[in-house]
Chain A
């Protein structure tokens, strides 16, 4: 671990244990499934066994007649379409007219117990007409017999097509000294959080509906419930209990959340829907199965001349975040290097498979793998070191990309320098014996999507409220969603830092739409940056009133006072002070309990062309990782003994949490590169369990050295940028490039399983390409 330099702050920049840690280690933290309501019913979902079928008719009479069944719902009851993006509402709570994948919800019941609910589902009778199955996105690129959705482009299954061209790519390639190409193929992967989705809903006689749900984005759920159930938002209360991981998988408003609320409305009783693991896998919204084609041109000294990128993205049955995915698979090529000419064509195609959506480092991961492998090949062709090639092309601070991304802070070159030195790169690259190697992978990511995903863009993206009464406890309200990343802790720490009080004084309240001001929630790595700025503003407003009260008490000008150690003191005269509580009570004499509000609005960014806002962010994180691999060339098995991770998240405000995000990202990235894969036979998911979808074990984790080298970001709270998603991206190409250094094969297809390693070695042998003495 790089030793932290002493920073200017009392708490921030240190290692701050998570505030809810004691509740979690004792099993006392309350998750949705832990909620018990009187008379609560069990809600269960019937999932389509058909990949694509017209629902001709349904008979629910036998199910309704079963004793213990209180409601049976089919799609016609709440048919209003919804979706996380307002421009692509193509989902319904329960399938209407058609089932679109194996796992699509076609009916739901509420019953007194689970067995009765299951029995009732078995009594629902459908008459269906089978429709063509489209499991391969290539089959949906032109007009098809039965489009999965009516909104498919020109009768095809294309959900979104993006074509962008900046500069002149053909001319750039024509004058290039060197070109490289990687055609990447990526299996779909999924979040595999440990807590299955769960929702509890209760409609009460006062005309209100309360929904507790394991969600990353309580606000979008709130909006969606209102739209589909046709109940004004102010009569719906959304509560987010602890959430057992999300990684993007709990960021869409999900059908079961609406169904649960609908069942509660129908029955007048509380209803819980708890997913089993199969439900979780069929709900998916994981990283898209993708094929991409990345071509890069450079001149003789290694300066990049242009990128030409294509992507074919398998969307599954719904849009979800897909329009954003389609843009991101191109535009997230715009860093960390200068790209003077750029062309991209991306297509996301509906298939009759579980929907893909947003997963940690959404849209940037597969693209980055192919780019970084191409750059490794480019360095080899040019005979330059991969570090030197990247440094030569690094985006400078305070620059603008060709597609008008605004780059403010970047410590990317510092990342390169630090990781090169700490990994011992120059002594290892191309010098380790056959079977062992090192590889460099880099990346960058948005520190919060600049545009909110709703049609009221003038409102702040984050608001934080503070309330402090005579007890001196500071209650913090915000709809930011802690899903394990530590945002509650950061929120508390920022407030304590600004007010100069102990952390234990600050109580972050559970997300509850009745009292929490809107924050857009945990996606796009936005929380630290946006909530952090809102929290700072709120706390500073409160601090100013306390300081004014202290100034009156002390008879000193407010400008001469400073806060800290639970006191407000005259600067340079620590004996002249009032305590925090005395200042508070003095301030309360006029107003009673103090309240304060702070908010964050993103700046106006991006060009004016179609799609210009995609990928704009108020700041970007940067990464440079080196992985070391050790390949058993007899079996194709390999391990990653060491990984060095240099990351620029601006100022790391909670080192414990930043390290945790980086280590967890590495784990997830290694999973995708080494073995995770959602396997299909046609449209049927073959491995919907954690036994067959294997995430890495403790023994597979490398020794990780984290290098936090970021300089303060000018707009980030206390100089901070994101660390939640960006740290994943560089992991994959670092391993891919290390494998090339080890055995001389570039693996273009993920996951790189041992059998693929062996096949690669066989191919290399057949081509008579010896490598490092092999």
Chain B
């Protein structure tokens, strides 16, 4: 493998160098190569949001992102969003409000909501709905997810 195929970026706060052939997408790099399986594969087509990660703080569909594009940037996954012990306020609110059911979409929602509250600590309901509109959930009808995010915003604020 040539040095061109070595990818350097910050992953969950730590610098990493990983071999990466050109066509690899970020989701495969995370799940298959780095075994960070908290990021979920729901469609591989950018339609469901289960694979959402943060690239330089912005929610990004890792299934549609060529891994090479994160070279020199910062990637945060659900594993990075989670504190070493316990839960972050968004996660705690998701648990308390029953915002998880099957849980498969949950990491994507938690990552998206965490990014939202970092940039907008007091979002309106419409802003929350807009922020999560790229994430599909088939179990909850979104209502408890929205409640949880509103509650986390109150707690953090």
Contact = CB atoms under 8 A, between A and B. Distances in A.
Interface of A: 15, 17-18, 20-31, 33-34, 36, 191-196, 242-247, 274, 276-277, 483-486, 656-657, 659-660, 663-668, 689-691, 695-699, 701, 704
6 contacts: A25-B100, A25-B107, A25-B110, A194-B102, A245-B101, A667-B142
Nearest to B42: A194
A194 B50 contact: yes
Tell me whether chain B's interface is mostly helix, strand or loop, or mixed: loop
A140 to B, nearest CB: 32
Contact of B138 (A21, A23, A25, A191): A191
Contacts of A666: 141
B22 interface: no
Nearest to B100: A24
A583 to B, nearest CB: 31
Interface in B73-119: 77-79, 82, 87, 90-91, 94-98, 100-107, 110
B45 A668 contact: no
A contact face: mostly helix, strand, loop, or mixed? loop
B106 A25 contact: yes
B144 A483 contact: no
Nearest to A246: B102
Given A27-B38, A31-B40, A664-B101, A704 B138 contact: no
B140 interface: yes
A640 to B, nearest CB: 12
Given A245-B101, A664-B139, 15 more contacts: A18-B100, A20-B103, A25-B94, A27-B107, A31-B104, A195-B104, A656-B97, A660-B139, A660-B140, A664-B101, A664-B138, A668-B141, A697-B129, A701-B141, A701-B142
B20 interface: no
Nearest to A484: B102
Contact of A483 (B47, B100, B102): B102
B39 interface: yes
Contacts of A483: 102
Contacts of A699: 129, 133
Interface in B137-157: 137-146
A26 B106 CA distance: 8
A274 B50 CA distance: 16
A603 to B, nearest CB: 31
B142 to A, nearest CB: 4
Contacts of A36: 35
Nearest to A655: B98
Q: Give the interface centre of B40, B50, B100 by most chain A CB atoms within 10 Å.
A: B100
A17 B95 contact: yes
B138 A245 contact: yes
Contacts of B39: 27
A26 B144 contact: no
A664 B105 contact: no
Contacts of B105: 194, 244
A417 B157 CA distance: 41
A484 B141 contact: no
A244 B140 contact: no
A125 B79 CA distance: 45
Given A31-B104, A194-B50, A195-B104, A659 B142 contact: no
Contacts of A247: 138
B136 interface: yes
Given A244-B103, A663-B144, A26 B45 contact: no
Interface residues of B, number: 49
Contacts of A33: 37, 41
A690 B77 CA distance: 23
A659 B95 contact: no
B46 to A, nearest CB: 8
A698 B87 contact: no
Q: Output the residue of B50, B100, B103, B142 with the most chain A CB within 10 A.
A: B103
8 closest A-B pairs by beta carbon, nearest first, are A27-B38, A244-B104, A484-B102, A24-B103, A667-B141, A27-B78, A484-B101, A21-B95
B67 interface: no
Contacts of A698: 128-129, 132-133, 142, 145-146
A26 B38 contact: yes
Nearest to B148: A25
A667 B78 CA distance: 26
Select the residue from A24, A191, A664 with max chain B CB neighbours within 10 A: A24
A21 B107 CA distance: 11
Contacts of B90: 25
A18 B38 contact: no
Nearest to B35: A36
B95 A196 contact: no
Contacts of A486: 101
A18 to B, nearest CB: 6
B137 A691 contact: no
Contact of A668 (B48, B132, B138, B145): B138
Contacts of A194: 40, 42, 48, 50, 102, 104-105, 136-138
A174 to B, nearest CB: 45
Contacts of B100: 18, 21, 24-25, 484
Contacts of A667: 138, 140-142
B145 to A, nearest CB: 8
A518 to B, nearest CB: 23
Given A243-B102, A698-B133, A18 B95 contact: yes
A277 B45 contact: yes
Nearest to B77: A27
Contacts of B40: 27, 31, 194-195, 244
A33 B106 CA distance: 16
B133 A26 contact: no
Contact of A34 (B37, B42, B129): B37
A697 B106 CA distance: 16
Contacts of B82: 25-27
Contacts of B103: 20-21, 23-25, 29, 242, 244, 484
A483 B104 CA distance: 10
A341 B42 CA distance: 48
Contacts of A24: 100, 103, 106
A15 B96 CA distance: 9
Nearest to B130: A699
A119 to B, nearest CB: 15
B141 A26 contact: no
Contacts of B144: 659-660, 663
Nearest to A16: B98
Nearest to A21: B95
B91 A25 contact: yes
Contacts of B45: 277, 689-691
A667 B105 CA distance: 16
Nearest to A245: B102
Contact of A664 (B79, B95, B136, B140): B140
Contact of B136 (A30, A34, A242, A695): A695
Contacts of A701: 141-143
Nearest to A663: B141
B154 to A, nearest CB: 18
A193 B105 CA distance: 10
Contacts of B69: none
Contact of B102 (A15, A193, A277, A656): A193
A695 B105 CA distance: 14
A692 B86 CA distance: 39
Nearest to A693: B47
A654 B43 CA distance: 32
B91 A26 contact: yes
A17 B98 contact: yes
A485 B44 contact: no
Contacts of A25: 82, 87, 90-91, 94-95, 100, 103, 106-107, 110
Contacts of B44: 276-277
B87 A26 contact: yes
A361 B51 CA distance: 30
A483 B82 CA distance: 24
A196 B47 contact: no
